[in-house]
Each structure stands twice: as structure tokens, then as C-alpha cells.
């Protein structure tokens, strides 16, 4: 009976970690879209790369358009752990909201 409870607990914990991801925010300036990745830089010169963007955001801001290069954004994103082609864990960032400061 205890082993069933342990298995159930582990299963529920792993499912909740997939759906309850912490959102993060940053202010960044769009550098460009290179090799399928959106690249932003912050005020300290740190580059942040985002491999994915949700459809709603990409319809509002076409970041592949060169008119947005050099523009500042407030970026809301999540980071997920995925396996790459070498079966190594990698961190993949997805933009879930994007606004331009006033």
C-alpha cells in the first residue's frame, strides 16, 4: 500500500511541475532573429535567447521583421528542460507575453 502511495505521489508531483512553471520577466532590446532563435540584450549587455514564442504573441509582434530591431520590450517567459539529440538536458525559453514600455 505504501509503494502505491509513493508512486502516486511521484506521478502527481511530476505532472504538477510541468503545468506550474514559474514565469520570469526581463527588460530587453531585440537584437534579432538568428538561426531560429529570438535574441534580446538587457541593460547590462547580457544576451537572452528564446527558442519559442506562443502564437498569440508572434501575431501581435512579428519579431522577424527588422523594424523591431533595437526596440525595447518587457518579456515574460518560461524555461523548460528538454532533452536534445544527444540525450542531454537543455534549457529552452519560451516567450509567453511581450509588451513595449510606454
Domain count, the chain: 1
Q: Give the structural domain span for 72.
A: 22-99
* Cα 23-33-71 angle, rounded to 5 deg: 70
Mean pLDDT across 71-77: 97
Does residue 81 belong to any structural domain of this protein? yes
H/E segment holding residue 54:
none
16 part of a folded domain: no
Whether the per-residue pLDDT at 88 is higher than 60: the answer is yes
Measured between alpha carbons, how far is 67 from 87 in angstroms, rounded to an integer?
38
Higher pLDDT, 74 or 18: 74
The pLDDT value given to residue 21: 67
Say which residues have a Cβ less than 8 Å from residue 83's Cβ, sequence separation at least 6. Answer: 89, 90
How confident is the model at residue 8, as a pLDDT? 42
Say which CATH number the domain at 68 has.
2.40.50.500
Would residue 6 count as lying in a domain?
no
In this structure, is residue 5 part of a structural domain? no
Amino acid at each position: 500500500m505504501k509503494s502505491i502511495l509513493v508512486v502516486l505521489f511521484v506521478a502527481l508531483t511530476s505532472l504538477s511541475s510541468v503545468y506550474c512553471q514559474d514565469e520570469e520577466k526581463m527588460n530587453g532590446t531585440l537584437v534579432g532573429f538568428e538561426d531560429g532563435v529570438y535574441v534580446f540584450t538587457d541593460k547590462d549587455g547580457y544576451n537572452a535567447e528564446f527558442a519559442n514564442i506562443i502564437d498569440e504573441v508572434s501575431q501581435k509582434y512579428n519579431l522577424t521583421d527588422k523594424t523591431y530591431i533595437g526596440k525595447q520590450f518587457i518579456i515574460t517567459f518560461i524555461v523548460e528542460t528538454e532533452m536534445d539529440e544527444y540525450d542531454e538536458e537543455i534549457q529552452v525559453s519560451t516567450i509567453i507575453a511581450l509588451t513595449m514600455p510606454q
